[in-house]
Structure 1
Amino acid sequence: MSKFKTVIWPTVILFGDSITQFSFQVNGWGADIADKLARKCDVVNRGLSGYNSRWAKIVLPRLISSQSSAENNNIAAVTVFFGANDCALEDKNPQQHVPLHEYSENLKEITGLLAAAGVSADRVIFITPPPIYEPAWEKECILKGCPLNRHNSVVGQYAQACVQAAAQCSTDVLDLWTLMQKDGQDYSVYLSDGLHLSEKGNQFVAQHLWRLLQSRVADLPFILPYWGDVDAKSPESSLLCDQ
């Protein structure tokens, strides 16, 4: 039987669609967060490209089991970042579209599923979909042989529903749709194709999300001793301690 304590790393789980899945790419917002938390916390990418909130609530119990509540207590935070696919126009993209009211209810259900697994609402952060830059996204749609299938005004309705759901669930929320358009700024610079994030957009998300994450991870200790503090003559005494 092992005489030393296994090192258990806290986790931050990023749960969302393609904007989350792509967040570990070079200069991605998820990679930035993971870099900030190195030696303190594992950042786990659970982004599922193309998914909407309806599918998300179905698969969530497969990703975070309620049978592992003790393990889930080690989850420092979970980001829930859906809506960019839910808001697709029903007549143009019925497969991904989720009605506004159902989207709101799905977010609440996701919070409930997390709570049932031992992840309390104060550890959950909702992220609204970013704005859509229609001229660029329309070009992408035409290349795929379909008409423009999202409108920024509709995205705004889903963003507002996300903010309201967060208030009802007592979770934090990062309202990208509003922040990226604040003071009439040119938000197209935050988007690579009108829908997904550009390098500048990734920086924007990382910067604003970190402000919300900091309070949840500030007290996490540096895992395993700094190399300069290891006793060179008896490294076991430093490396097999409970730190």
Structure 2
Amino acid sequence: MDQIICLGDSITQHGWDVGKRGWVAQLSQAYVRRLDVLSRGFSGYNTRWTTLLLAQMLPRSLLGTRLITVFFGANDAQHAPLKQHVPLDEFVQNTRAIIENLREKAPFARIILITPPPVGDSLWAKTREAEGRVADRTNVVTRQYAAAVVGLAAELAVPCVDLWTVIETKREAHSGLPFAGYEVFSWDGLHLNENGNDVLFNEVLRTIRLNYADLDPDILPFVLPAHTEIIEGTREELLGFVLSE
């Protein structure tokens, strides 16, 4: 089967966590028997590391890749001079280089950019305190990186899921909660919980349907016929399905 590749950091790596309704897992279910969904999420990685290691992060062959999601920024926005921090201008340059590399290696693949989600400052500070560490990210800074992704997507004519704005808008209805509503979408102030994963999955699917309608899972055919289409199940009948493709 052809494939979808989800490239990113821990929010993509954790996207397979079915216990939290991971957005990558939901995408895989949506495309079952249509396209394989391959996770290339690397926890803790930023765009600097990714530009250097991209060849090792991706499959050896990108033939048959129909769609690639690119989802970085949460680590790049870490406070300087910590090791994951990447200055904003370099972040933009790195993300542009990643897109150009993907376009070269997979010229027929569509691309979707995803902004980092907002940081729930007080919830993240509590999480880090429980770990014996200090808070190393703020929502004000992360917003700048999210806006940079939106701007770059427009420049490169690439669809963008503005996850930062979507979650910020939705959490306002819960602003009276102890952590200003961020706990509705994040379990630790940074990573997505069940609700956050639902939001991202639905936004990715909406973006696909708006921009790449031919990849809408509801219209893609199954790979190989449904069992109800197989009349006798003989060798000749089954080989006929293969030869007709």
Match of 1:160 among 107, 132, 147: 147
Output the CA distance in 1 between the equivalents of 2:222 and 2:110.
20
User: What is the aligned counterpart of 2:89 among 98, 101, 109?
Assistant: 101
Match for residue 112 of structure 2 among 93, 103, 125: 125
Deviation at 1:97, TM superposition (A): 0.4
Write the letter of the residue equivalent to 1:198. Answer: N
Structure 2 gaps, min length 5:
175-180
Aligned residue number for residue 98 of structure 2: 110
Shift of 1:196: 0.3
Q: TM-score, normalised by structure 1?
A: 0.88
Contact 2:40 2:58 in 1 (8 A): no
Correspondent of 1:210 among 195, 201, 205: 205
Match of 1:85 among 75, 89, 95: 75
Secondary structure of the residue that 1:60 maps to in structure 2?
Answer: helix
1:75 pairs with 2:75: no
Quote the residue 1:223 is aligned against: 223
Contact 2:78 2:85 in 1 (8 A): yes
Which residue in the other structure is 1:12 paired with?
A: 4
Give yes or no for contact 1:53–1:82 (8 Å, CA) kept in 2: yes
* TM-fit CA distance, 1:182: 1.6
Deviation at 1:233, TM superposition (A): 5.3
Contact 1:87 1:98 in 2 (8 A): yes
Query: SS of the residue aligned with 1:77?
Result: strand
Partner of 1:42: 36
- Which residue in the other structure is 2:132 paired with? 145
Give the RMSD, CA atoms, in angstroms: 1.8
Selected match of 1:63 from 40, 57, 60: 57
What is the percentage of aligned positions where both structures have the same residue?
Answer: 36
**Aligned partners of 2:107, 2:114: CA distance in 1, in Å?**
17
Aligned to 1:191: 186
1:179 paired with 2:166, answer: yes
Q: For 2:188 and 2:139, how far apart are their aligned partners in 1?
A: 14
Aligned partner of 1:217: which letter? L
State the distance in 1 between where 2:233 and 2:64 align: 33
Render the CA deviation track for 1:160-186: whole Å, top value 9, x for unaligned.
001111111111110011111127333
5+ residue gaps in structure 1? 1-8
